[in-house]
Amino acid sequence: MEERNEVEPRRSKRTKTSKTFGPDFLTFMLEDEPQSFKEAMSMPEAPLWKEAVNSEIESILQNHTWELVDLPPGCKPLGYKWIFKRKIKADGSIDKYKARLVVKELQTKEGVDYFDTYSPVTRITSIRMLIAIAALYNLEIHQMDVKTAFLNGELDEEIYMEQPEGFIVPGKEKKVRRLVKSLYGLKQAPKQWHEKFDNAMMSNGFRINECDKCVYVKNTTSGYVIVCLYVDDMVIMGSNNDIIKATKRMLNSKFDMKDLGVADVILGIKITRTSDGFVLSQTHYIKKVLEKFGRYDDSPVKTPIDVNLHLTKNKGNGISQLEYSQIIGSLMYIMNCTRPDIAYSISKLSRYTSNPGEDHWKAIVRVLRYLKYTLNYGVHYTRYPAVLEGYSDANWISDTNDTKSTSGYVFTLGGAAVSWKSSKQTCIARSTMESEFIALDKAGEEAEWLRHFLEDMPMWTKPVPPICIHCDSQSAIGRAQSYMYNGKSRHIRRRHNTVRQLLSNGIISIDYIKSKDNIADPLTKGLSGERVNCSSRGMGLKPII
């Protein structure tokens, strides 16, 4: 690995303001875990952490990840860090203690130490679609975990790292580890792992879903099986247990796998099987969030947003910006996974993360109080209806301080929401019709993706019929069905062409629905408790029995 002489880039002289939200902004959790090898070995749980460390090193050695060598002249070894984590079960108890050896890659250079780092990750929408399909066809959902997934990738570059603390070879202290295979922390590790998994699946008769590169499908005379990969976690669905078992045997022959049996928790989301389908819920996580931020004892409320509270940019000093950011991060995770009913609130509140004021705090605390009221809610997927349909809505500049409207859409399958979005529109609408049309265009884009996703499902009837999008604006529907657009707005003309194309190609159809029956309504504005409850039921959100 040669050193390169490069011109030092010009540095800005402006004072840089830290934007970090703290180490737990991404993990959003909960117990205090050791931050170093030394700290872990000095805790009362030291034997458990030691066992986790030994297991990690054993996996590295079994994979022939490195070899002990002298450091070549002119090379500098990479540092390392031990990451410790308590894995939590759905009921809040500790599942296991996990240690991960991670490379510190601050010194690496693109084009020398790595070339390509991109690796796809499945959409959470894909996981919900597959669970809805499993409910419709009464399929079993199993789960497997790849032990030390990133150790499976092959490296093309020469990379050296220091010997890890606790495992320095006596008498060879000055030697270093040359990485033969990927290690956690390397920028190219995710891509290398995904390429190896891709090759293993395709060589065993699987084909990749064109819409989601992490969904694999295999159709045989004895049945079909679907595998969905999220980094090192995978969901396996099949038409019968034999084909699921055969897939597990194949994966075990290729990688060091852990069979978790029938799926219970995926990405922190609890999967519960019912008599007529599946329920996705995050009750335990929501409870932990409420406890962490001291809001578990607050009185509950029936709506996530106060319709009388109008939020504006805070021009004074920010109030507890770090904590506000952490709450927003936690709520985004909840909203993205299982709670479309808080999508509008989170979309709105996240705009004020950099400098929250008193009103913003009132609004975010109200969302937490609403989550307490709906603590045991889950998304219920059932065996009916086996039709994918959408709902689109917009709210045209509801606040005098806004210049842009809000779009919202929801798509349901098996009686519950599989995809949803609430967002500020990217262009200015001059009328209610234009704002509704912009929302319809966004919903049409998602409908096209969902339809193509279903086309690659072996059990789904072909051809997939047009996806009906329900809209409560007759003027927007009339504009969409018209062959010509003679308005002045170029951005509406472009969207008109897109929607017309989707209609003429049989990708979507558009149908009128009354506003009171439009379940996308709460994704664009605050509603009364009765309307919130009604739309939540329409999205399949209800208490877990």
**DSSP structure class, residue 110:** B
Task: Output the pLDDT for position 490.
Answer: 66
Omega cis (within 30) before 23: no
Among 343, 462, 445, smallest CA distance to 390 is for 445
Length of the chain: 545
Q: Are the C-beta atoms of 65 and 193 separated by less than 8 Å?
A: no
Task: Say if residues 523 and 408 touch (Cβ distance below 8 Å).
Answer: yes
Would you say 160 and 71 are in contact if contact means Cβ atoms under 8 Å apart?
Answer: yes
User: 3-state DSSP call for residue 143?
Assistant: strand
User: What is the full per-residue pLDDT of the chain (545 aa) written as tens digits?
Assistant: 444 444 444 444 544 444 343 333 333 444 578 888 989 999 988 899 999 999 989 888 888 888 899 988 888 888 888 989 888 776 667 888 888 888 886 544 444 444 455 668 899 999 999 999 999 999 999 999 988 776 777 776 778 889 988 888 898 888 999 888 877 777 777 888 888 899 999 999 999 999 999 999 999 989 999 999 998 889 999 999 999 999 999 999 999 899 999 999 998 899 999 999 999 999 999 999 999 999 999 999 999 999 888 899 999 999 999 999 999 999 999 999 999 999 999 999 999 999 999 999 999 999 999 999 999 999 999 999 999 999 999 987 755 566 788 999 999 999 999 999 999 988 888 788 889 989 999 999 999 999 999 999 998 988 999 999 999 999 889 888 887 665 556 677 788 889 999 999 999 999 999 999 999 999 999 999 999 999 999 999 999 97
DSSP label at residue 521 = G
Q: Which residues does residue 96 pair with via DSSP β-bridges, in sequence order?
A: 87
CATH of domain 384-513: 3.30.420.10
**Residue written as tokens 């190896």?**
196
Intervals of CATH 3.30.420.10 along the chain: 384-513
The reported pLDDT for the residue numbered 348 is 93
Cα–Cα distance, 21 to 13 (Å, whole number): 24
d(CA 249, CA 2): 44
Q: What phi and psi values does residue 436 have, to the nearest 5 degrees?
A: -65, -35
**Rounded to 5°, angle at Cα 223 from 217 and 224:** 15
